[in-house]
Amino acid sequence: MKIAIMGAMYEEITPLLEFFKTYETIEYANNRYYKASYQGLELIIAYSKIGKVNASLTASTLIEKFGAEKLLFSGVAGALNPALKVGDLVVATRLAQHDVDISAFGHPFGYIPEGCVYVQTDETLVHIAHRVAKAQGLKLVEGIIATGDQFICDSTKKEWIRSTFQADATEMEGASVAVVCDALHVPFCVFRAISDAADMDAGFSFDEFLVSSAQESAKLILAMLDELKR
Ligand code: ADE
């Protein structure tokens, strides 16, 4: 089986590349794709660069050019739910684009005509993630992720996203990857470890915890592969 593992930033896929050690690097569309194999699984790994447009391009490429049959996203997020703290792991059940706004026409925030506000992740992958996390002694919580082309570092904006989308965490790629995978019928899952609280201190917290939180998320992805190879 061919599995894509995707991050947005180099730091988010580094723990995986360090783990696999040997991989082939392929340059395509201003980006690098890393091919590795792991216990019978064919892996294709990439970071997209930040934002929804880059993430859509990379997810589409992973599927259409490299033939990914499942896609796992690994990275960090800002917490919207006050119960989530730095380092906590979230698996998305559904994702929405918080910066889509055609409310002028009476539509809910996040709504795109002929689409819907939320895209659901693959239930089987979420189920496997819980089993794997339990076996590894990792705490994993399910949540709604709100995605937009903004680093959220403001309490008012944070509260608006939380209350409008009932979202638990915010980041800048997940929902666009979800749209691509849903349209191309590729089962997918988005894992995020919390790096900050999306408040006025978010920038400092992100810089401090990007690497360690990205490692937490990657740890779960690696454990998922052990389960998926069965
Ligand atoms: N990724 C990690 N923290 C974030 C935040 N506060 N806003 C958007 N994306 C993020």
Number of domain units in the chain: 1
User: Residue 133 burial by CB count (10 A; 0-12/13-18/19+): exposed, middle or buried?
Assistant: buried
- How far apart are the CA of 134 and the centre of ligand 1, in A? 26
The mean pLDDT values, 10 residues at a time, for the chain of 230 residues are 97 96 96 96 98 98 98 98 97 98 98 96 98 94 98 98 98 98 98 97 96 93 91
In which residue are the tokens 């730091």 written? 11
User: What is the domain range of residue 100?
Assistant: 2-228
- Please work out whether the CB of residue 15 comes within 6 Å of at least one atom of ligand 1: no
Element (H, E) at 146: strand 140-147
> Where are the alpha helices (H) located in 91-199, listed in sequence order?
123-136, 155-165, 174-183
- Please work out whether the CB of residue 76 comes within 6 Å of at least one atom of ligand 1: yes
To the nearest 5 percent, what fractions of the chain are helix, strand and coil?
Answer: 40, 30, 30
CATH code: domain of residue 78: 3.40.50.1580
Can you give the pLDDT at residue 23?
A: 96
Can you give the pLDDT at residue 230?
A: 74
Can you give the pLDDT at residue 72?
A: 98
